Amino acid sequence: SDYQQLGYNLRSNLFQGGPLKSRSLMRDSYTPDIIEKAIRDPKNWHGRTISELGRWYEKHFLDLNTQKAMKDKYG
């Protein structure tokens, strides 16, 4: 039966789960010296400051909540 086959597969460890070591595209693409030299500036994230990004998300979610409330109220 399916139940016995599932039990057999679990006992023989066919469902091994995820990999034990995670991989990163950045680590696979660049040599270790490039990653070590990289300067991470939390105030400047891809040309935007965190406060600007936070304000954008605030406005975005406020807009989404307003749209949802209007849809609930007026259909």
pLDDT tens-digit profile of 19-46?
667 777 777 777 778 777 777 777 766 6
Query: Model-level pTM greater than 0.85?
Result: no
pLDDT at 16 over 80: no
Residues 6+ apart with CB under 8 A from 42: 50
Q: Which residues pair with 33 in a beta bridge?
A: none
pLDDT at 71 over 90: yes
Alpha-carbon torsion 36, 41, 47, 52, what sign? positive
| Cα radius of gyration rounded to whole Å, the chain | 24
Q: How many CA atoms lie within 13 A of 73 on its CB side?
A: 6
Task: Compute the distance between CA of residue 55 and CA of residue 59 in angstroms, rounded to an integer.
Answer: 6
